[in-house]
Amino acid sequence: MEWIKVDKKQHLGLVEERNAYRRLLDECLFAFNSIPNQRVADGDGGNTYKIAVKIEQAFRNYFD
């Protein structure tokens, strides 16, 4: 694994971007939870819970 040097300003920018994505995820999950047990056209025929799980997994893979 290669290490990349990042200055404080770049690090803060990355943290702000991560936090913005997490806020967006929270908003999406809130929207999905406000219409529980209703089908949403996600292309795979899934429901809101499945979509929320996919989004959460994608963010966990990206940020963790």
- pLDDT, residue 37, reads 64
Within-domain flag for 2: no
CA–CA separation, 52 and 42 (whole Å): 11
Within-domain flag for 3: no
Within-domain flag for 20: yes
- pLDDT, residue 25, reads 79
- pLDDT, residue 17, reads 85
Is the model more confident about 31 or about 42? 31
Considering its fold, how many domains does the chain have in total?
1
The pLDDT of residue 63 is above 70: no
Within-domain flag for 35: yes
List the alpha helices (DSSP H) in the chain. Answer: 8-34, 48-63
In this structure, the number of other CB atoms found within 10 A of the CB of residue 32 comes to 19
Global confidence as pTM: 0.48
Query: Of the given ranges (3-7, 19-23, 33-37, 43-47), which has the lowest mean pLDDT?
Result: 43-47
- The answer to whether residues 50 and 42 touch, using CB atoms and an 8 Å cutoff, is yes
- For residue 55, what are the domain limits? 8-63
